[in-house]
Every structure is written in C-alpha cells, then in structure tokens.
Amino acid sequence: MASQKPPRLGFSLPPLADEGDATSITSFVEIQKELAKRQPQLNAYLIVLQGSNVGAMIKVDGPELTLGRSSQATVRIEDDGVSRRHARILRLGDQVMIEDLNSANGTIVNGEKSNRQVLKDGDKIRIGSTTILKFTYHDNLDESFQQQMYEAAIRDGLTKAYNKKFLLDRLETEFAYAKRHKTPLALIMYDLDHFKKLNDTFGHIAGDLALQTVSRITLQLIRAEDIFARYGGEEFSILCRGVSGAAAGTLAERVRASISGTHMDWQGTRLPVSASMGVAALPEVNAGSGLELIGAADGALYESKRSGRNRVTICLPGNTTPG
C-alpha cells in the first residue's frame, strides 16, 4: 500500500538545513508570525440597533466621523433629541473613542452619560430619543454578510425597491423633521391599473416583469435622496424631502408618462401597463402624522382611478381631500 503524503500547510516553511544543523527548522514563533499575517483585517463599525435604518452598518474608516442632524454630519441621524453636531468618533492609533460635542441631551454609552471614552467591542451608544448604535469590530467577510442581511431586510426581493416597513420607518422620521423645521415633504402613491387582469391574461411571470420594469423606470427618474418603496402588491410610493406638492405632481406625471410610454414586451405582445397616481404634501395638506399623509395620498390615488385611471391627482391644500 502506498504511503500517504503528509498534509500540506497553507504557507511555505524555509528548507531544512544540513543534518548537522537540523535544529534550525523554522521556530514556532516564526510560524505564529506567518499565521498572524493571514488573520482577517478587523475594521471598526457602528451598527444601528434601534431607530431609523435599523441594521445599517457604518464603517469607521477615517480619523474622525461626526454624528448629528446636520447635513454636514458624516452620519446623519434624524431623531428627536439629536443635536446638529451631537458626537464624534475618533481613531487614535489602535483605539476608537467617542466624544460628546456639547449636545443638548448627551451621549449615553452602556447606560451612562459620557463626555469622552474609549469604545470596546459590543458597547451600546444611545443618542436622541430612539437611536441606539452598537460599536463592534468585523472583518471584511463579516461586513459583506452584514450588508447582505441589511439589504434583505429593507428591500423588496422582486423589484429591489425598499419595502413597506422601511418606508413607514423613514416616513415618521421625515414627517417629524418636516414639522419641526417647517419644510416641505411630499408623498406619491401609485399603483398599476387593471393589474389583476394583466396577471390573469398573461400570467404571473408577465406581471412580475411589469413590476420590475416600473421599478426600474421610477429609479431612473427620482433623486438619490428620495425613498422609493413597494408598498404592497402593485402599489408603490415615493417619499420626497423638501419637495412641494406641485413639484411632486410634476415628478408623478413624469413617472406616469414614462410607464405608459414604455414598450413592455411579453412573448411578442406589448403588455398594457399604466399607473394611477396620488400626491399629498406638507404643508399644503393638514396631516397630523405620517399615516395621515399616506391616507391623503391614497385618497388622491383613488380619485385618479375613479376619474378614469392613468392620471395624477394632487390633494387639495389645507385638508386631506384630493382635487
């Protein structure tokens, strides 16, 4: 029977010396050094445990990272009680430190108010009313896995639009911000006309194609900061910060025209796809919550359907009645 070859190590060792110098085989210390080189590089991260964008993973990849409500903050956090420049994360050699920037409500680390301290793996940081961050170290593989898990949690698998939960979380945050700062906030709700008939006539695969195409069209027309989500079934929404009702109506019309004007081919037949749109916006609409803003936009959407479909309706200023 042939003798088995010894298993190969994942790295090369220096060759043996002459018989008289056999004790010069690579030392255990050198082997440890070689293994250390092959250890994954650990990076520092903040993971959102509670608040807007739960699951988001923020890499601490510079000498300084600022947290706050300001548009100039590295990590922008829209939460009641968060100051414009609330705190900062500092890299000091191998250590990572958090420093409060004289915020109004303080920075809480592991349940205790802190002005400045070194962070340890697993530390919990609370800022504002609801936001909790976890400080941790991960290698690149962990980062990739965490990002995939986060995307799976906030995206619709078919269309790649955000899902309803993500939209509702962001809507409450954006609504509170708009009310506090008296800035515009617009919501567009729309769904595909006669979608059940399309599914029944051409099959669900054709229906999926229509949904995916509508998603792609919409993503090409909106701004990077707009939130595009699949609200459910064939219904979609676009949340636009700093946009008036009239401007949102213009965007909705562009999306509507692009959908109805796109040739969606299914086995040599053009799919009959169009969309009815409803728009509601602050401060024109008298809404007391994000859900009331959805109700106003939905009311406008159903007015579009009642009036013949494939059109845009904007909710009247001052109330929640479409017009």
Catalytic position from the list 234, 235, 284, 303: 234
- Residues 289/277/166/158 CA torsion (nearest 10 deg): 160
In the sheet that holds 235-241, the strands lie side by side as 227-232, 235-241, 185-192, 275-282, 312-314
Buried b (16+ CB within 10 A) or exposed e, 205-235: ebbebbbebbbebbeebbeeebbbbbbeebb
234 is catalytic: yes
Distance CA 274, CA 309 (A): 8
Tokens at 187, concatenated = 């919501």
DSSP H or E stretch at residue 167: helix 164-181
Helix, strand, coil percentages in the chain from 3-state DSSP, rounded to 5: 35, 30, 40
Distance CA 156, CA 147 (A): 15
Question: What is the length of the chain?
Answer: 323
Asked whether 163 and 156 are in contact (CB, 8 A), the reply is: yes
In terms of DSSP bridges, do strands 108-109 and 112-113 run parallel, antiparallel, or are they unpaired? antiparallel
Asked whether 138 and 45 are in contact (CB, 8 A), the reply is: yes
Tokens at 312, concatenated = 């845009």
Whether cis (ω within 30° of 0) applies to the bond prior to 322 is no
| Catalytic residue set | 234
